[in-house]
Amino acid sequence: MGSQATGRGAEAHASGTRLDRVILLAPATLKLALQPAFIPGYGLHGDELYYIACSEHLDWGYVDHPPLCALLLRGSRLLLGDSVLGIRFLAALAGAAIVLLTQLLARRLGAGWYGELLAALCALVAPMYLALSHIFSMNAVALVI
């Protein structure tokens, strides 16, 4: 068995139609569009306050998380500010990336458009991914990088 996807799904994806791009981007875009509606609800989490403090004092090593997390948060804060939405934007973006990567994995395994959308929908509503993409933490970012 080669690295090429087999079956009808591979033929449909080979053409690269506009519908194919819509099917690919729709679930992740939906996730990213709906996430801000639920982000600001309860204020910042205690761990987020810790990551904010770490982003103020960048260092090459922390005991409990890699330096890239603090650096990413620092960049996000510089671009989007210190609002709850600005702090949690990277987590929401990582959640959308998880949906997209799940869908691409289903495509790579030979799923047709229905299988892709089903896989993306499962990643979209999975409680673990919903929780991880709701607050900024290294766990949300680590699944993508």
Residue 40 lies in a domain: yes
Using a cut of 0.85, tell me whether the model's pTM lies above it.
no
Q: How many domains does the chain have?
A: 1
Residue 1 lies in a domain: no
Host domain of residue 81: 8-142
Q: According to the model, what pLDDT value does residue 123 have?
A: 92
Q: According to the model, what pLDDT value does residue 139 have?
A: 86
Residue 2 lies in a domain: no
Sequential pLDDT tens for the chain (145 residues): 444 445 455 454 555 687 788 888 888 988 888 877 776 667 788 888 888 888 888 888 778 878 888 889 999 999 998 888 888 889 889 999 999 999 999 999 998 889 999 999 999 998 888 888 888 888 888 888 8
CB within 8 A of 137, min separation 6: which ones?
47, 48, 51, 69, 91
Residue 3 lies in a domain: no
Distance CA 31, CA 5 (A): 27
